[in-house]
Amino acid sequence: MTPKEVRVRIAPSPTGYLHVGTGRMAIANYLLARHAGGKFLVRVEDTDKERSKAELIEPILEALKWLGLEWDEDILYQSKRIDHYRKFSTQMIESGHAYRCFCSPELLTADREKAKAEKGPMRYNRRCLSLSDDEVKNKLDAGEKFATRIRMPEGATTYNDLVSGDITRQNEEIEDFIIARSDGSATYNLAVVIDDHDMRISHVIRGNDHITNTFKQIHIYKALGWELPIFGHVPLILRPDKKKVSKRLGDKDVSEYRNEGILPDAMFNYLSLLGWSPKTDREIYSPKELIEIFDETHFNAANAVFDEEKLEAFNREHIQLMSDHDIAATLAPMLVEADLTTKYWLETRWEYLRDVVTLLKPRARRLSDFIELSSYFFLAPVEYDEKGRAKQFVPETIPILEGLAERFEGLNEFTLESTEKALADEAEKLEIKKGKLIHPTRLAVSGISQGPGLYDILATLGQETVVERIRKTIEVIKKVTA
Ligand code: GLU
């Protein structure tokens, strides 16, 4: 027997953004598909007309693409299949697995209130299940509207969850739920089962908030005589305060992290390890490696906490893995956007940009850090950090910087070694420690007191810029100390 082809899907409803939880489910499904050489599909659950607008769907697809989750086959839109769903509720009535319910919304509300008052079960009381064929016929002839309800069998249902093992639920806990509304349109669970069947989905991997739906869906599969997929329910992602991750609580969606300089591979890596484990101590993997080592039995049934600091730490590691050239290419438009430079300037100074990347890379946790840390490589400082000013902007600094500017100006080549030697020679001449020269020089050329090694900065900035900035700083010091 040939094993069944692995076909999985992510089924977002249109919300205008990709929730990190949905992103993580998409990654889990994608890894399962790619590892097995199967198919990863996208279905948009947009039966709600209001929500089928492109602006609510496009950002989700964009974010999936950004994460590298290329899907196979055409996207399936539920809104285009509404007529297709209709016949299945009729089929279920004909096979005796469902029945027509003529109860009006008012009557159902009254039932519920009565049950509440009597502290009885809130389930539908099956009033219409006992209608005789004649009674049904008369109501239909009279043009009465009906919804279609599944007829839940007696007993209990067990299925084997890929994540949590056997899960059992008493059927009576689930009421005879509605599978089609009075206009004949399918409700959520019926549409999902029809779609998963038509798409030949082999594994349904989703959040564990869908377990109740799964039990409902299992009864629909059985009623329609269709084979069940494998179900796996992954615990939801929690915030560090143990609340469910939610935009309403200020949590970010995937594109916000992108805008803040998180790399797609870092996001992919971090989300893949939330609720799934490679069962080794190693944490940093490329998507390709994750595809290779993915194992569907390694899902974790415990809750997973989304920790932004950890994501940042992953990002830092992924930045180190990226080539300087690739970082420079990603950064170039960001630098232009931040008004640090122009496209034109960068076009002829690619190597300079790459050198800047090499210097700043070990310090960057996000791509946006490069922007923040690199401004003095593009613009002369207009301000100097306060602590540095207080310490260095004193009359004694003036001759130190003057002597250095002169030495630097006289150098034939301006390199790491030559600038280091010039500074050491000047320190020796003045009979002071090198530190006395290093700090004001750093402040003069960068405006700040930390950063990469001073000689690296000097060699990268170049002779002309360095001398010019030191001289300008001397003028500033003269002004403030006069
Ligand atoms: N639209 C559902 C969700 O976003 C899909 C659930 C499923 O995967 O079946 O949670």
* Whether residue 330 is found in the same domain as residue 378: yes
Annotated active-site positions, please? 247
Same domain, 212 and 294: yes
Considering only CA atoms, which of 377, 393, 374 is closest in space to residue 385? 393
Looking from the CA of residue 11, the nearest atom of ligand 1 is 5
Percentage of the chain beyond pLDDT 70 is 99
**What is the C-alpha to C-alpha distance for residues 482 and 32, in angstroms, rounded to an integer?**
71
Give the model confidence (pLDDT) of 122-170 as tens digits: 899 999 999 999 999 999 999 999 999 999 999 999 999 999 999 999 9
Q: Which domain holds residue 344?
A: 325-481
**Last residue within a domain, chosen from 321, 344, 374:** 321
- Report if residue 284 sits inside a domain: yes
* Ligand 1 atom closest to 192 (CA): 9
Please report whether residue 153 resides in a domain.
Answer: no
Overall number of domains in the chain = 2
Task: List the structure tokens of 287.
Answer: 């998507």
Q: Report whether pLDDT(50) > 90.
A: no
Q: Has residue 54 got a pLDDT over 90?
A: no
Which of 295, 321, 347 marks a domain boundary?
321
The reply to whether 102 falls in a domain is: no
What pLDDT sits at residue 47?
85
Token pair of 43, please?
Answer: 């279905």
For residues 8 and 59, membership in a common domain is answered with yes
What is the whole-number distance in angstroms between the Cα of residue 303 and the centre of ligand 1? 18
**Per-residue confidence (pLDDT) for residue 419, from 0 to 100:** 98
Cβ atoms 103, 175 nearer than 8 A:
no
Give the mean pLDDT of 334-359. 95
| CA–CA gap between residue 214 and residue 193 (Å, rounded) | 10
Angle between helices 454-461 and 435-446 (to 10 degrees): 40
> What 3-state class would DSSP assign to 300?
coil
- pLDDT tens by residue, 267-296: 999 999 998 999 999 999 999 999 999 999
Asked whether residue 404 falls in the same domain as residue 459, the answer is: yes
For residue 196, the ligand 1 atom closest to its alpha carbon is 9
Does the Cβ of 192 fall within 6 Å of ligand 1?
yes
pLDDT in tens, 361-402: 999 999 999 999 999 999 999 999 999 999 999 999 999 999
The Cα angle at residue 12 between residues 6 and 17, in degrees rounded to 5: 135
Q: Are 76 and 42 in contact (CB under 8 A)?
A: yes
One domain for residues 377 and 439: yes
Question: Cβ(150)–Cβ(179) under 8 Å?
Answer: yes
User: Given pLDDT bands bounded at 50, 70 and 90, which one contains residue 1?
Assistant: very low
CA end-to-end distance (rounded Å), the chain: 91
Distance 360 CA to ligand 1 centre (A): 42
Please write the tens of the pLDDT for every residue from 18-44.
999 999 999 999 999 999 999 999 999
Same domain, 397 and 248: no
Residue 149 lies in a domain: no
Tell me: do 459 and 408 sit in the same domain. Answer: yes
Residue 51 has pLDDT above 80, yes or no: no
Q: For residue 26, is it within any domain?
A: yes
The answer to the question of residue 297 being in a domain is yes
CATH number at residue 455: 1.10.10.350
Residues 346 and 435 grouped into a single domain? yes
CATH of the domain at 231: 3.40.50.620
Q: Ligand 1 center to residue 274 CA distance, Å?
A: 18
Domain termination site, one of 321, 341, 360: 321
Same-domain check for residues 338 and 283? no
Using the 8-state DSSP alphabet, how is residue 434 labeled? T
158 pairs with which residues across the strands? 168
Specify the residue with its C-alpha closest to ligand 1, atom 4.
12
d(CA 14, ligand 1 centre) in Å? 11
Do 329 and 284 sit in the same domain of this protein? no
207 and 252, same structural domain?
Answer: yes
Each as own residue / partner, the long-range contacts of residues 354-358 (CB below 8 Å, 24 or more positions apart, any chain) are 354/324, 354/325, 354/328, 355/460, 356/460, 357/324, 357/327, 357/328, 357/331, 358/324
Residue 160, φ and ψ in degrees, nearest 5? -100, 110
Q: Is 12 in the pocket of ligand 1 (CB under 6 A)?
A: yes
In a domain, 209, yes or no: yes
- Taking the C-alpha atoms of residue 466 and residue 460, their distance in angstroms, rounded to an integer, is 10
Phi, psi dihedral angles at 311 (to 5 degrees): -60, -40
Whether 37 maps to a domain, the answer reads yes
210 close to ligand 1 (CB < 6 Angstrom): yes
345 and 276 within one domain: no
